[in-house]
Amino acid sequence: MALDMDGTIYCGGTVFPFTNPFFKLLAELNIGFTLLTNNSSKSVADYIAHLRRMGVRVTADQLCTSTHLTIEYLKEELPRVRRIFLLGTASMSREIAAAGFTLAADDPQDEPDAVVVGFDTGLTFARLCRAAYWIKQGKPFIASHVDRVCPTDQPTVLVDCGSVCAALTEATGRKPDAVLGKPDPRMLGEVLQRHELRPENLAMVGDRLYTDMIMAQRTGALGVLVLTGEATAAEAASHVPGLDLVVKDIAQLGEMLKAARNGGL
């Protein structure tokens, strides 16, 4: 099972009350899981710590992030890229640097090979303008994910990577050359490869239509939409193509899994 995180097992810094019982049930049913996230603001180590504070214990091989996919894309598709101008957090910067890339400074003399845009929670106007400048000069323009906003339990709107990229597109006339993370099938492809699974043996559980469910459909996995995050029941009902399964939350999904294991479905 592949599980989205924010909006599916927690919201912002608040874990849903049914999350830990659900993971206990998965263990009892011997169902493995991988947690997926487009949120590139945290490293794998950050996520492990964040989840532990909520009572959810996972290992690095149970996580897949858009930063990981971005690094893999750069290495495989743009092997000559070594210097990167990054709009991203300190955590993302460390992961990019640890992968062997050099981070270019906000300096017109420090020319990068590519511009990479993530979820930069400390974004400054100067760095946004520098990214636009290099994109305008024709540098490869890579986005870690498509999300327009990040879910939160606070009274604010968290402007995410997709919205920043939209601003850069308006300023430069260029869309990103590649957008990693969900709904790109490569994210579920990573899960399938890790566990030697076929798409029909995998369920993708998430709260967003334009990332989680579209990726499931593109990959051939079972798409399970939960209504604890962004998508509403009305949006789910009118979605084309139709969805495989819509549940109130992962607690309801857990009940269905138990019933199926006991021969009730």
Write the pLDDT tens digit of every residue in 139-170: 999 999 999 988 788 899 999 999 999 999 99
Average confidence (pLDDT) over 183-206:
94
Pairing of strands 141-143, 222-226: unpaired
Percent of the chain exceeding pLDDT 70 equals 99
3-state secondary structure of 86: strand
- Which residue ranges does the chain devote to CATH 3.40.50.1000? 2-38+182-261, 81-179
* Six-digit token string for 243: 């969805």
For tokens 């566990």, name the residue. 195
* CA-based nearest residue to 223, from 235, 236, 206: 206
pLDDT tens string 80-96: 999 999 999 999 999 99
Rounded to two decimals, what is the model's pTM? 0.88
Residues near 230 by beta carbon (within 8 Å), at least 6 away in sequence: 7, 151, 207, 208, 209
Write down the pLDDT at residue 261: 85
CA atoms within 13 A on the CB side of 194: 18
| Average pLDDT score over residue span 232-254 | 96
Query: Helix (H, G, I), strand (E, B), or coil: what is residue 43?
Result: coil
Helix (H, G, I), strand (E, B) or coil at 49: helix
Range 2-38+182-261 has CATH code 3.40.50.1000: yes
Pairwise CA distance, residues 237 & 231, whole Å? 10
pLDDT tens digits, 9-32 = 998 888 999 999 999 999 999 999
Contacts of 224 (CB under 8 A, 6+ apart): 203, 204, 205, 206, 216, 244, 245, 246, 247, 253
Using the Cα atoms of residue 165, residue 156, residue 2 and residue 222 in order, give the sign of their dihedral: negative
CATH classification code of 81-179: 3.40.50.1000
Report pLDDT for 129.
Answer: 98
Angle of helix 66-77 relative to helix 90-98, nearest 10 degrees? 40
Task: Cite the DSSP H helix spans in the chain.
Answer: 19-28, 44-53, 66-77, 90-98, 125-136, 161-172, 186-195, 214-219, 233-238, 250-261
Kindly report, residue by residue over 195-232, the tens digit of the pLDDT. Answer: 999 999 999 999 999 999 999 999 999 999 999 999 99
Q: Which two tokens stand for residue 47?
A: 């996520």
* pLDDT band at 264; cut points 50, 70, 90: low
pLDDT band of residue 265 (cuts 50, 70, 90) is low
Q: Which residue carries 């049914």 as its tokens? A: 18
- Cβ atoms of 182 and 212 within 8 Å: the answer is yes
By residue count, the chain amounts to: 265
**Within 13 Å of residue 238, how many CA atoms lie on the same side as its CB?**
4
Write the CB contacts of 205 (distance below 8 Å, at least 6 apart in sequence).
1, 2, 3, 4, 8, 212, 224, 226, 250, 253
